[in-house]
Structure 1
Amino acid sequence: MKRFFSCLLMIFLISCDSDGTNRNPFLQEVGFRFDLNLNLPLYSGLNTIGNPVYVGNNGVGTRGAFVIKSSLDSFFAFEASCPNHAPNNCSTMTIDGQNVICSCEDYTYSLFTGQQLDRPNDGNRYYDLLFYRATQSGNIVTISN
């Protein structure tokens, strides 16, 4: 019986693992919830696939969020602050078609995947855009973290 409990304890100890997620050290993940009414002119661009909108309201992420309609019933939302350095006066990115650009280093990120498109091959660690949940209910798109 002792061997059984010893083996069971060993299995539990081996199966325990530290959190393997790779958190971005530059961006704090803040909790928020914000509703976008697609009937309002400010957000009506989200009725078209591939047309991104910047949401810069206070309390939305760190520096706001970019939202894009990716298919007939799917939306993506990403943090508007560049993920590869701490927020500063140049870290709020700007929309360039279906991409966003960080003016600090001219890094480009896709709003369809969140990936950095021009990642330097210098051996340093680079982060992709911080993803937020985006769900649709009728004409309301809710972004949250």
Structure 2
Amino acid sequence: MKRYFLIIVAILTLSCHKDKVVNENPYLPNYSFSVVINTSLPSYNNLQFPSNPVLITNAGAGIKGIIMMKVGTDDYRAYEASCPNQYPSDCSQLTINGINGKCPCDSKEYSLYTGVGVSGGQYPLKPYRVEISGANLRVYN
């Protein structure tokens, strides 16, 4: 009987953490938000084509904004636009450099396909979830 109880507790514990966000980056806080991006609008039209990243700085979109990019058919990536290896400051908003995000403070670059540092860095870019609904993309944390 004790064995069955332990198995049930283990299953419930593991299933409860399925959608839990793990934020091990001490520099970037884990704010909750939700924004809808309409790819039919001229500002976001580049998101209809692969490898054309867009910086989104709408109010309430992440900490310093979001960098989004289409990477394949119905596959989008969205990352926090803050440099992941330093506290948010005046120079810590990433800029777009081709298919990479570049931090102006320390010149480190991060792949917008994987979020991993191209030129080093302890932490990768902070990813956000993307939900597709026609021409609308919902980005949330």
With the shorter chain as reference, the TM-score category is 0.7 to 0.9
* Corresponding residue for residue 129 of structure 1: 125
SS of match in other structure, 1:43: helix
Bigger Cα displacement from structure 2, 76-85 vs 21-30:
21-30
State how far apart, in whole Å, the 2-side matches of 1:26 and 1:98 are.
Answer: 24
Q: Specify the code of the residue in structure 2 equivalent to 1:43.
A: Y
State how far apart, in whole Å, the 2-side matches of 1:93 and 1:56 are.
Answer: 11
Q: Specify the code of the residue in structure 2 equivalent to 1:67.
A: M
Q: Percentage identity across aligned positions?
A: 37
State how far apart, in whole Å, the 1-side matches of 2:134 and 2:5 are.
Answer: 50
Over 3 Å counting, the alpha-carbon distance change for 1:60 and 1:9 in structure 2 is same
For structure 1, the 5+ residue unaligned runs are 121-125
Q: TM-score, normalised by structure 2?
A: 0.85
Does the 8 A contact of 1:26 with 1:83 survive in 2?
yes
State the structure with more CA Rg.
1
Q: How many residues align?
A: 133
Q: TM-score, normalised by structure 1?
A: 0.82
Alpha-carbon displacement from aligned partner over 1:20-56 (angstroms, at most 9, x marks no partner): x561000001111101111100000101101000000
For structure 2, the 5+ residue unaligned runs are none
Does the 8 A contact of 2:101 with 2:112 survive in 1?
yes
State how far apart, in whole Å, the 2-side matches of 1:10 and 1:76 are.
Answer: 39
Alpha-carbon displacement from aligned partner over 1:114-136 (angstroms, at most 9, x marks no partner): 0001116xxxxx10000000121
Over 3 Å counting, the alpha-carbon distance change for 1:9 and 1:59 in structure 2 is same
RMSD: 2.2
SS of match in other structure, 1:45: helix
State how far apart, in whole Å, the 2-side matches of 1:11 and 1:47 are.
Answer: 47
